[in-house]
Structure 1
């Protein structure tokens, strides 16, 4: 987006305290009832309705897989006990253990509320990010347009995945691969909002804390963060003004140093060593030529899956509307240099490709060929992909606004609006089908839960358990009873000595 100059006032959006409410860019008035504002709000209502429906379906979530093992630890030893277990035994992710402990502290209710709270977090971070980037680029937009971009990006990020359950509804997986990149992204907000010396100091402190926490939360998100921060250090001087460059350079260096420190805590932990030994995922296996080549083939398969998921076009369309409808403003301090679209677009796409491949490299020794189907591990870099798509759309809209005739601009606005609506509509049927499956599983799980609790209350030491899987989640006695994990954890959860395989739900 170019840094323009026109007598305008910026509309109020999250994170923007400047300007008078109600004025848009380019000297045009954007009253709350203007057609453009109405269009933005109507379009935003579609992904928001999807997210509200997805949040409501969270009432059907019940513990499964790893969570069977987390819940007894938190019940008996508290959150600190789970953090210690992660560090010493499981994987070294102490930040992960803290977040898991926070929802596991409220066993079933924590699982049921997780989807609503995490979706709200993603929406709030992306909404604030769009508004603050517009402010720093000295651009003003109609009311509701930043919300439209953020809501569309949030809905696509959470619901366009091949396995929405593991992305949004499975807290253990979501904490590691869905919430982790969002929390890392949130560290950008204080830097964008900083306008005073105290604000910049707070932004640097936030970058350090967020970096260390990210390093102890998710190896894949740490890789993405280091790629993005490294890109800012290499090319940031071409992005921001000379006055803003020293702060950006210091912020990126501190953030990268924090990620390195947190990652060092993780990889040197006993839990991380145990995990690498368990999967045979040592340093040599990660950088072995065969592993690197297999990772490249795996990432190509992932890229094909993502690029053929047409709902992502809705994010591009929302960005296109943003580029078409924003206008330059004199309000605020110039931070970004005049836009050079092609280098900026290439840098964004390169960051996605590099971070995506590196994430595949470090996960391949654990998952092997299944890395192509372990869709939850893609989310660490898919958030960056979604943001880059929105940016590409904005750059394209900016080019059309400057070069195309007004009639063609109107056609572009109508086309982008239709694509936003169709994209949101395309996400609804899979969500509905998943909700039905979750509802069935919740009913069976509740009946079995009551039966197991009653058996424990009678003093039984062993009770039957019937697997109740949903969306490919692991349950005890899968594969015809050949794989018992996590049956021992289920027994501990119900204070039994053991559970045996059953084929009939009580």
Structure 2
């Protein structure tokens, strides 16, 4: 089979066995005639190691202990959680009617969120203990999902990271996401709110992991199935999270028009289409439910009211207030800092890329007529006759393991030096634009129920704040790669190494400072939760003892924390959820009291 005549200098060097000029990282390309050693590392990677070898990567596990210790303390504080607000109404239903009763309540009466009802049953079935364990269980799940997401994304991009770096990124992002708001209790510790607005976006992230790890047809089929099921689940769990997911999927589809090359483009579109179908199905189930119609009637949330010019303007002002709060919360800089460390320390996977196209499976070491290709990526064993998706190529005859080393795309995903690597800023900017659009739409959806207070209710911001935290990590990683590239290209390697080391030290210090900044308000919250837990337990014993004696009416003193709703709130003016409390203790009613038993 005849090889195509080379048309570029890179093609000439490839066919002569010389090294390919690196796309972006190397300081200078070697001479074309110099035959490289097949087993040697790329010049860009050697330069990168010279620049970053002063960074004490062995200290990363120690640095990870800071956010992990912070999260551990937050999880431990969860033992002080006691039911309040909506919990009073959920617990008797779960106890008396089980899962079917809870699902019927949500679908027929409250809001139509069937998946939400299932999660309420998951912790409500254990009573008060379920509330106390909720922070630990949900926190570990969220940390695990983000850890797996970071590790899978690095693996898909064929990047390797020092041990402990992925965990550091995930732990810091989790801590910032859960603890940076002004009302951590409602955001994280209150189960009824957390499952709707804090856990739900993390579960949406979990649906991406099978796609990132798919390597076989079975894995690809699993990724599609997870996308569909997760889409339906998210659609019936939280309207706001469903809005964020749909906006992000639309953004990815638009980016795939030019930024994702080869077969990955088709697979990305198919996966996004399946996920969109799942979310739309779930949202339709929720929207058409009797409970959702009842909720819209109760808050006057019809389309004419929500989408009128005045309502849209009010929602825009509320979202501007939310942005003002978020952008002035300095703890989010911890996500940028850990992203900088990520950008400085990740490396290309040498097992998949040697930078020169030397002797990989499916080539002969020069990208020409070896087993698995025919020299042009066409009709050789290991392709499909069109140069697509066969072992030894990536579907375009470029950048599969052991092809000609042009580094554009392989089965595992795009190289940082390929099309996405040269335009990383575009996906990041599109991501921030998607954040703004999704945040505004979520504000429109939440405003009928919350009114102007939506700007002061951080518990409903979590649906789009997780996206913000992840974007800040990506922005930091992009900044770290830019600093590293500049240091590599500088004429003085020692000076570049010092710059990189100082940058890494500053980023690590900012990560540590962020953890301290998050720990101080957490300690204060623990003290208030401890006081409330003691008072709640004392009143709980009194009410149970009174009900056991046959009393039908008993006094109740509101015991609140962090603005949680309690019976007789507002100095006895608001009864809700007094009737739910009476049902929980098997009473006819409760009366207002200002003195604890």
Query: What TM-score range do you get, normalising by the shorter chain?
Result: over 0.9
Distance across 2 between alignment mates of 1:3 and 1:82 = 58
Q: Do the aligned residues in 1 keep the contact of 2:553 with 2:591 (CA within 8 Å)?
A: yes
Distance across 2 between alignment mates of 1:211 and 1:84 = 21
| Offset, 1:285 | 1.1
**Structure 1 residues 234-273: aligned runs within 5 Å:** 234-273=254-293
Q: Do the aligned residues in 2 keep the contact of 1:36 with 1:142 (CA within 8 Å)?
A: no
Match of 2:413 in 1: 335
Which of 88, 106, 111 is the equivalent residue of 1:91? 111
Match of 1:49 in 2: 69
| Offset, 1:237 | 4.1
Q: Do the aligned residues in 2 keep the contact of 1:301 with 1:372 (CA within 8 Å)?
A: yes
Higher Cα Rg, which structure:
2
**Structure 1 residues 474-485: aligned runs within 5 Å:** 474-485=565-576
How big is each residue's C-alpha offset from its partner over 1:217-261, in whole Å with a ceiling of 9 and x where there is no partner? 000000000001111111124443312111111110000110000
SS at match of 2:590: strand
Which of 440, 454, 463 is the equivalent residue of 1:380? 463
* 1:403 matched to 2:486: yes
| Offset, 1:368 | 1.1
Q: Do the aligned residues in 1 keep the contact of 2:215 with 2:412 (CA within 8 Å)?
A: no
| Offset, 1:427 | 0.3
How big is each residue's C-alpha offset from its partner over 1:344-385, in whole Å with a ceiling of 9 and x where there is no partner? 221111111111011011111221110101111100000000
Match of 2:185 in 1: 165
| Offset, 1:35 | 6.3
Summarize the Cα distance change of 1:331–1:88 in structure 2 as closer, same or farther, 3 Å threshold: farther
SS at match of 2:92: helix
Match of 2:242 in 1: 222
Distance across 1 between alignment mates of 2:469 and 2:258 = 23
Q: Do the aligned residues in 1 keep the contact of 2:116 with 2:196 (CA within 8 Å)?
A: yes
| Offset, 1:334 | 4.0
Q: Do the aligned residues in 2 keep the contact of 1:320 with 1:397 (CA within 8 Å)?
A: yes
Which of 154, 161, 184 is the equivalent residue of 2:204? 184
Which of 88, 101, 121 is the equivalent residue of 1:81? 101
Number of equivalenced pairs: 485
Match of 2:159 in 1: 139
| Offset, 1:297 | 0.6
SS at match of 1:112: helix
Distance across 2 between alignment mates of 1:63 and 1:252 = 39
Distance across 2 between alignment mates of 1:235 and 1:445 = 52
Match of 1:21 in 2: none
* 1:154 matched to 2:245: no
* 1:358 matched to 2:430: no
How big is each residue's C-alpha offset from its partner over 1:9-61, in whole Å with a ceiling of 9 and x where there is no partner? xxxxxxxxxxxxxxxx94699xxxx9633321122111100100011111110
Distance across 2 between alignment mates of 1:233 and 1:389 = 22
* 1:369 matched to 2:452: yes
Q: Do the aligned residues in 1 keep the contact of 2:552 with 2:587 (CA within 8 Å)?
A: yes
Distance across 2 between alignment mates of 1:207 and 1:3 = 35
SS at match of 1:500: strand
Match of 1:121 in 2: 141
The 10-residue stretch of structure 1 (239-248 or 353-362) with the greater mean CA deviation from structure 2: 239-248
RMSD over aligned Cα atoms? 1.9
Match of 2:299 in 1: 279
| Offset, 1:342 | 2.1
Higher share of residues assigned helix: 1
How big is each residue's C-alpha offset from its partner over 1:270-305, in whole Å with a ceiling of 9 and x where there is no partner? 000000111111111110101100111111100010
Match of 2:596 in 1: 505
Structure 1: 5+ residue stretches without partners: 7-24
Distance across 2 between alignment mates of 1:224 and 1:61 = 29
Match of 1:17 in 2: none
Match of 1:452 in 2: 543
Distance across 2 between alignment mates of 1:395 and 1:378 = 26
How big is each residue's C-alpha offset from its partner over 1:142-175, in whole Å with a ceiling of 9 and x where there is no partner? 1111111100000000000111001110000000
How big is each residue's C-alpha offset from its partner over 1:436-473, in whole Å with a ceiling of 9 and x where there is no partner? 00000000000000000001000000001000000100
SS at match of 2:263: coil
Q: Which runs of 4+ in 1 moved over 4 A?
A: 2-6
| Offset, 1:129 | 0.8
Distance across 2 between alignment mates of 1:75 and 1:3 = 63
How big is each residue's C-alpha offset from its partner over 1:193-230, in whole Å with a ceiling of 9 and x where there is no partner? 00000000000000000000000000000000000111
| Offset, 1:4 | 8.6
Summarize the Cα distance change of 1:87–1:449 in structure 2 as closer, same or farther, 3 Å threshold: same
Match of 1:344 in 2: 427
Q: Do the aligned residues in 1 keep the contact of 2:143 with 2:174 (CA within 8 Å)?
A: yes
Q: Do the aligned residues in 1 keep the contact of 2:55 with 2:504 (CA within 8 Å)?
A: no
How big is each residue's C-alpha offset from its partner over 1:114-164, in whole Å with a ceiling of 9 and x where there is no partner? 001111111111111111111111111111111111000000000001110
Q: Do the aligned residues in 2 keep the contact of 1:4 with 1:138 (CA within 8 Å)?
A: no
Q: Do the aligned residues in 1 keep the contact of 2:341 with 2:504 (CA within 8 Å)?
A: yes
SS at match of 1:162: coil
* 1:461 matched to 2:539: no
SS at match of 1:244: helix
Q: Do the aligned residues in 2 keep the contact of 1:26 with 1:329 (CA within 8 Å)?
A: no
Distance across 1 between alignment mates of 2:56 and 2:250 = 38
Q: TM-score, normalised by structure 2?
A: 0.79
SS at match of 2:567: coil
Q: Do the aligned residues in 1 keep the contact of 2:579 with 2:590 (CA within 8 Å)?
A: yes
Summarize the Cα distance change of 1:237–1:334 in structure 2 as closer, same or farther, 3 Å threshold: farther
Q: TM-score, normalised by structure 1?
A: 0.93
Distance across 1 between alignment mates of 2:143 and 2:86 = 27
SS at match of 1:464: strand
Q: Do the aligned residues in 2 keep the contact of 1:279 with 1:366 (CA within 8 Å)?
A: yes
Q: Do the aligned residues in 2 keep the contact of 1:5 with 1:330 (CA within 8 Å)?
A: no
Structure 2: 5+ residue stretches without partners: 1-21, 27-43, 353-410, 488-495
